[in-house]
C-alpha cells in the first residue's frame, strides 16, 4: 500500500476543498488512502505526491473526475426521507399548478442525485399529478461523479430497492429485467435529464429560474462557509416562492440564510 504523508494529505485535502467543496478532515486520512490505492496502482503512481502533480497538470480533468468518483460517498434509495415527497405532493405541486397554469412548465433540480433514485422518485410523484395535463415537467439531475451518473442513466436497480415503494408503483413505473433486477420504464426515465455538475461553480447559469431544488445529504460534506455560499446560489436560482429541500440531518442556520424556514429541512424563497 502506498502511504500518504501528512503534507500530501493536506495538499490533497486543499485541492478537493477548493475544487469540489468537500472538507476532508484528518479523520478521513486512512479512508482516503485506502480508496485511492486502486487508482494509484492502475496509473502506476509510486507516491501521492506524483499522483497530485499529475492531477493538477491534467487539462482533460480525467484524473480529477476519477478522484472525486473514489472519495465521494453515494448512498441513496427510493423514497428516502419520504416526508419530503409528501410535502412536494401535498403543498408544493398544488401551489405550482394553481399559479403557473399558463406556462405549464415545472422546473425541479435534484442536486447531488447520486445513482438516480431521488430524481426518478420525483418523476413518479409528478407523473401521478400531471398525467395527461400537458405540462413540461422534466427534472434536472446532477452529480459530480461520472460513475454514479452512468449508473443512474441506465435506470436499472436490484429488485429489493423497490420493495418499499407505495402500493402499485413497482408495477406501474418499473419493468422486470431479470430475476434480480428491474428497470425504470421509459416514460419515467425520459422525464429526467442527467448532467455532470460541480456545485462549487461560482454562478449557476440556468436559462430559467427553478421552482424546487432538492439538495439532500450533500452539504454534510461541506464546511459552514461553503454551505452559506452554496445556499445563496440556490436562492438566486429559484423563482420567488420557490423551495429548497435539504437532508433532515442538515439544519441550516436561519440567521445566516435568506430563505424563510417552513419546517425542518424545508425552506422557501420569499414571494416578494
Q: What is the pLDDT of residues 19-68, one digit of tens each?
A: 888 888 888 899 889 889 989 999 999 999 999 999 999 888 889 888 98
Give residue 104's pLDDT band: very low, low, confident or very high (50, 70, 90): very high
Q: How confident is the model at residue 71 (pLDDT cuts 50, 70, 90)?
A: confident
Residue 172 confidence (pLDDT)? 95
Flag whether pLDDT at 75 surpasses 80: no
SS3 content of the chain, % helix, strand, coil (to 5): 45, 20, 35
| 159/195 Cα distance (integer angstroms) | 26
Rounded Cα–Cα distance for residues 101 and 105 (Å): 8
- CA 98, 85, 193 angle in degrees (round to 5)? 85
Spatial contact of 183 and 214, defined as CB atoms under 8 Å apart: no
What pLDDT does residue 69 have?
Answer: 81
Band of residue 74 on the pLDDT scale cut at 50, 70, 90: low
151 in a structural domain:
yes
Task: Choose the final residue of a domain: 31, 48, 71.
Answer: 71
Strand 210-215 and strand 192-196: the pairing is: unpaired
Average pLDDT on 150-166 reads 92
145 with 253, same domain: the answer is: yes
Q: What angle do CA 102, 108, 114 make, to 5 degrees?
A: 160
Judgement on whether residues 28 and 158 belong to the same structural domain of the protein = no
Choose among 263, 206, 264: nearest CA to 235. Answer: 206
Domain membership of residue 76 (yes or no) is no
CATH number at residue 34: 1.10.155
Please state the rounded mean pLDDT for residues 130-137.
90
CATH of residue 243: 3.40.50.150
Number of domains composing the chain: 2
pTM of the model: 0.85
Q: C-alpha cell of 145?
A: 461523479
At residue 27, the pLDDT reads 86
* Residue that terminates a domain, selected from 18, 40, 71: 71
- The tens digit of pLDDT for each residue in 220-266 reads 889 999 999 999 999 999 999 999 999 988 889 999 999 999 999 99
Contact 145, 197 (CB under 8 A): no
**Domain limit, last residue, from 15, 44, 71:** 71
Distance CA 163, CA 167 (A): 9
Continuous segment of H or E residues that includes residue 103: none
Q: Cα–Cα distance between 235 and 244 in angstroms, integer?
A: 8
Amino acid at each position: 500500500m502506498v502511504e500518504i504523508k501528512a503534507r500530501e494529505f493536506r495538499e490533497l485535502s486543499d485541492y478537493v476543498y477548493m475544487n469540489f467543496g468537500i472538507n476532508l478532515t484528518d479523520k478521513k486520512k486512512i479512508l482516503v488512502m485506502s480508496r485511492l490505492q486502486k487508482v494509484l496502482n492502475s496509473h502506476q503512481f509510486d507516491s501521492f505526491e506524483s499522483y497530485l502533480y499529475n492531477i493538477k497538470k491534467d487539462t482533460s480533468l480525467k484524473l480529477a473526475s476519477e478522484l472525486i468518483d473514489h472519495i465521494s460517498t453515494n448512498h441513496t434509495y427510493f423514497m428516502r426521507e419520504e416526508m419530503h415527497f409528501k410535502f412536494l405532493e401535498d403543498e408544493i405541486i398544488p401551489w405550482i399548478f394553481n399559479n403557473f397554469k399558463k406556462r405549464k412548465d415545472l422546473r425541479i433540480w435534484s442536486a447531488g442525485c447520486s445513482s438516480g433514485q431521488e430524481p426518478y422518485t420525483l418523476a413518479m410523484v409528478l407523473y401521478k399529478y400531471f398525467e395527461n395535463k400537458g405540462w413540461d415537467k422534466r427534472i434536472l439531475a446532477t452529480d459530480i461523479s461520472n460513475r454514479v451518473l452512468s449508473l443512474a442513466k441506465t435506470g436499472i436497480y436490484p429488485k429489493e430497492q423497490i420493495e418499499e415503494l407505495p402500493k402499485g408503483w413497482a408495477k406501474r413505473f418499473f419493468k422486470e429485467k431479470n430475476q434480480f433486477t428491474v428497470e425504470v420504464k421509459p416514460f419515467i426515465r425520459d422525464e429526467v435529464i442527467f448532467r455532470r455538475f460541480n456545485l462549487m461553480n461560482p454562478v449557476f447559469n440556468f436559462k430559467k429560474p427553478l421552482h424546487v431544488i432538492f439538495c439532500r445529504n450533500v452539504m454534510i460534506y461541506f464546511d459552514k462557509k461553503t454551505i452559506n455560499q452554496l445556499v445563496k446560489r440556490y436562492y438566486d436560482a429559484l423563482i420567488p416562492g420557490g423551495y429548497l429541500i435539504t437532508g433532515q440531518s442538515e439544519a441550516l442556520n436561519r440567521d445566516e440564510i435568506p430563505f424563510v424556514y417552513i419546517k425542518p429541512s424545508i425552506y422557501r424563497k420569499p414571494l416578494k
